[in-house]
Amino acid sequence: MSVAATSLDIAEHPLVVWNGQHGLPDFDRIDESDFEPAFEVALEAHRRDIEAIANDPEAPTVENTLAAMELSGKPLARVSSIFWVLAGAHTSDVIQALERKIAPRMSRHFSAIHMDEKLFARIDALYRERDGLDLDAETARVLEKTWKRFVKAGAQLGAVEKERLAAINEELAGLGTRFGQNVLADEKDWVLFIAESDLRGLPEFLRDAMAEAASSRGRQGSYAVTLSRSIYEPFMAFSTRSDLREKAFAGFTGRGRNGGDSDNAQVVARTLALRAEKARLLGYRTYAEFKLDDTMAKTPEAVMRLLEPVWEKAVARVAADASEMRAIAAEEGNNRDMDAWDWRHYAEKLRLRKHDFDEAQLKPYLQLDRIVAASFDVANRLFGLNFEELSGISAWHEDVRVFEVKNADGSHRAIFLADYFNRPTKRSGAWMTGLQSGYGLGDGQSPIIVNVMNFAKPAIGQPALLSMDEARTLFHEFGHALHGMLSDVTWPSISGTSVARDFVELPSQLYEHWLTVPQIIRKHAVHYRTGEPMPDALLEKMLAARNSNVGFATVEFASSALVDMAYHSEPEAPEDPLSFEAQTLDRLGMPKAIAMRHATPHFLHVFSGDGYSAGYYSYMWSEVLDADAFAAFEETGDHFDTELAEKLRRHIYAAGGSRDPEELYKAFRGRLPSPDAMMGKRGLA
């Protein structure tokens, strides 16, 4: 039962006082109608906290200013964390309406904090006196990062410029919300129902997933192609019907580009214009320079020095693969040019021809529950963690699973919640977030970490089967989760994944490597019917074929990263972003038969919020690090070398943002990497 919103007491409300089992929110006592009044009260409480710090008559100290700020606003943090989990993983009309209201409101709230002259004066005084304060290294870094955050948020601007910047940030927050909701609307509304006679070429696992997707939409006896990658990508690979592949491709690439209410063209144009204006207000030539100022890359030029050589090698590989695929198509009597909806289909045939291997052979061995167990097994071998599934605990949806995470000595480490299956109320993709981070300041708190996926839900009584790409995605997001769960810092603002954007993907991408080490894949990849382990011959084929379509995958990714950098490297934003995208791809020589992984109208990383704007390159930047980091384990001859695993835990997974990322990486590896290991990993060396 919901607590009455009209008599909301923030000190007692279940959105703030988490009295559920294991310190979780009691979701049974939370209703959508609770959020708006809770936000109002929590925002006001946080404003009062900040006002008290800013007006403190005592001289500023680390305790009464920096620590007080870090610990302020806990009710707002708790209300927000639950709300944003629901907004992504289980939304509704009520949640979306409030999201459109609250995102700009939150932006205005935090702009006011960062532009508060009295508050910044206290931070500035501490920063100027820092060398004489005898600060430990972590506190010194938090003070520096806090000062820089205030400056980049406009603390040193004049009154007129501050007001304009606050207005820009508020409008950008609303645009990001609108962009994401438009994409979700298109994904939710699009479905292609087909009959059994249209299933030629589709393996059993895909037929079952499509039948379940149709049944969940009230079409028993039919089959549904949806825009979930768990269905869309294997359908594009296995369907022999080019006409149906074309329809699915049009739906997938047309998200946010439909000319209707959910069209994102003008949202993007306005977003880019505001970002460019924001950069100029803050003294930067371009938005890319603004965003990269506090990253490992530092400059757009450094990003391009990474992306351009990779792009050239990938395009050359695509040309070679396309020639071989056209030959296969010609053998089938298809002599037309290859279209974008043909690529995955013929790439699968080329892989089968070269390696005698296709995804349908592999998938029966990749049960979701066993891959989850594999991810836990690796965490136990590397870091001594143990995972116990908890029953009878409610969350935001019945599919959510809850685990207690314990250290090797049996002490509590974290709570982990996993929400694996696709549904219309969930935005696409996969991500890690948290209900709360772990830190030691004040009374401290332990992490409550969340992973969200979009795997196809199986029929009742059937196991969920994953592709190898989906299994890697699970390991990837669990790597992010470990970054949050293993965090061992004092200060909240540098906990867990609060690191430079082009460093944050290192723990996640590195973790993917352990999926296919022999001790793990042989133990956990067992056939869902027979229980037999994956045959060595099939494993060897899978490993041999893993780079068979690397040109396509690299062009898909790199084109998105290059367009992102192009958008944000212009002093003046393009008036017509879609024309700018087309011109950029033409200049790059984008292969005709490949589409960007994230075309502009549905590029959620870049336009649904600001997280990866001028930052999508960071996956590849981190890939340079992860390839080199895993090579360190290979060099020892033991994928779970105890001494190296402890260095990995201490300097990468537990350190958060407590030190500069270059310093952290060198503490682990002894040096910085070159791109060679990454190029070799992708088979592009």
567 neighbors 272 (Cβ within 8 angstroms): yes
Rg (alpha carbons) of the chain, rounded to whole number: 25
Region of 154 on the Ramachandran plot (φ > 0 left; ψ -120 to 50 alpha; else beta): left
HSE toward the beta carbon, residue 107, CA cutoff 13 A: 23
How far apart are alpha carbons 380 and 403 in whole angstroms?
Answer: 14
443 SS3 class: coil
Helices 577-588 and 265-281, axial angle in degrees (round to 10) = 80
How far apart are alpha carbons 648 and 652 in whole angstroms?
Answer: 5
- Alpha helical stretches, state H, 454-549: 468-485, 501-504, 506-512, 518-524, 536-545
DSSP string, 550-608: HHHHHHHHHHHHHHHHHHHT-SS--SSHHHHHHHHHHHHT--TT---SS-GGG-HHHHS
Catalytic positions are: 477
How far apart are alpha carbons 423 and 456 in whole angstroms?
Answer: 9
Nearest to 396 by CA among 20, 6, 43: 20
Q: How far, CA to CA in Å, does 264 sit from each of 221, 308, 566, 610?
A: 35, 28, 19, 16
Query: How many Cβ atoms from other residues are within 10 Å of residue 460's Cβ?
Result: 7
On the 0-12 / 13-18 / 19+ scale of CB atoms within 10 A, 62 is middle
